[in-house]
Each structure stands twice: as C-alpha cells, then as structure tokens.
Amino acid sequence: MGEAYWVAGGVAAGEGIASVLRQNGLQPRWIEESHLLAEHIPDDAPGLSFTWPTFVAPSALRWLQGQIASLRHNEREWLLLIQATDEGMAWSVLAGAAGVGRYNRLPQVRLHDLTTRAHGVIFPGTWGDWLNQNAVEFEGDGVVVGLGFSSEQTIPLPAAWSCIAAPWPTTPLPTLLTTWAERVARGAVGVAVLVSAVRTGWIGVAITPV
C-alpha cells in the first residue's frame, strides 16, 4: 500500500488555476482530477472536473479520506481540490507516491486516512493510541483540529498538545489542508489531526512530516 501527500496549496487571487500551478512548479497536465467544492469549476481547471455540494463537517472529512485512499491505492496519482473564498480560489494539490516519483516532485507532508475511532471515554492518551493503531509515526507535540467544534469546546489532550476549533463550513477545506500541512512541514507542530464527531465515533485525517 502506497502513501498520499500534500504537495502544494494556496489561494489563486485574480489568477487562473493553471497559472498558479505553474508558479508553484506544477504542470496542469499532471492533474488527473479537479474537485471543486460548492461552486462551479473554473474554465482552466485541469483533468476531469467534478463539483460537490457543501458538506457537513463529518461528510467533508469522510470525502477527503476517500480521496487520500485513492492515492494510497494508486487509483489516482494527482488531485486538485478547489474552493471559492472571498480572497480568490483556495486550492490544494494532493499526490500519491507514484505521482511524485513520476515527475520527481518532492512532497511536503504525508496524509493519513484514519480508521473510525469508536465513541468512548476520551483521555489524554486517546490521540496517540489512535495514531499508533493506524501506524502513523510522529514526534513532538500535536494539535487536534476540530471541524465544527465551538471555541469553548474542550477535550482531554496530552501535555504540549492543543485543540483548535475550525469553523465549519466557513473554513474552506483546501485552506484547512494547506494551513496545517505548511505548519507541519516547517516543524511548527509534529502532527495535526483533523477530526469530526459522528454518531458512532470520531473520523479523522492525520498530517505528518515526510
């Protein structure tokens, strides 16, 4: 089973998506699929184009897990996620191991689709246990990014870990990915876990250094 990566991301403000990709050392022809969330697809979006409705937080993470899994299983090599914001088009490029190897492009961070964590008592060690069960290796402190969490919501965390509420659906998914991928890539945090609660438990995506 392969790996999935976040390669690059940002905001295209007044520029075409294809132009922004080239500015970041990416070729539009590499992209197999463009996925646009809640809006129409830009005319210059590369590859096969798909539009999706506005997801509730758990569904957004479950959808992202599916995209990550398709890269890990070599069903896709390069994907582009796009979402309109007030500043422009937020975007993130994801790739599988075969994709970055084919074009000799260094990935920035690894993406892990975590198995569902059943509801139960949450204690500080829960987060490390969950990552270990999914063979996610990390060092240092971590952050739990709660999609749809309120700013007052608190959960038990290990020492040196923090929990940050990500307003949903006002936080674009590509922006969320890019923000935390960049922080992990530069070593500001050892692991970021994007989570959301469902009726039967927790679902999540982990971001770790390469």
pLDDT one-digit tens code per residue, 94-110: 999 999 999 999 999 99
Residue 41's CB: how many other CB atoms inside 10 A?
Answer: 14
Does the pLDDT of residue 207 top 80, yes or no?
yes
Give pLDDT, residue 54: 87
pTM, two decimals, is 0.95
Give pLDDT, residue 200: 83
Contact between 203 and 186 under an 8 Å Cβ cutoff? The reply is: no
| C-alpha distances in Å from residue 121, one per residue of 124, 147, 161, 170 | 10, 20, 18, 29
Give pLDDT, residue 124: 87
pLDDT one-digit tens code per residue, 191-201: 999 999 888 88
The single residue listed with the structure tokens 């709660």 is 146
In angstroms, rounded to a whole number, what is the distance separating the alpha carbons of residues 156 and 27? 43
In angstroms, rounded to a whole number, what is the distance separating the alpha carbons of residues 59 and 31? 24
pLDDT one-digit tens code per residue, 27-83: 999 999 999 997 777 788 999 999 999 899 999 999 999 999 999 999 999 999 999
Does the pLDDT of residue 180 top 80, yes or no?
yes
Does the pLDDT of residue 135 top 80, yes or no?
yes
Q: What whole-number percentage of the chain has pLDDT above 90?
A: 74
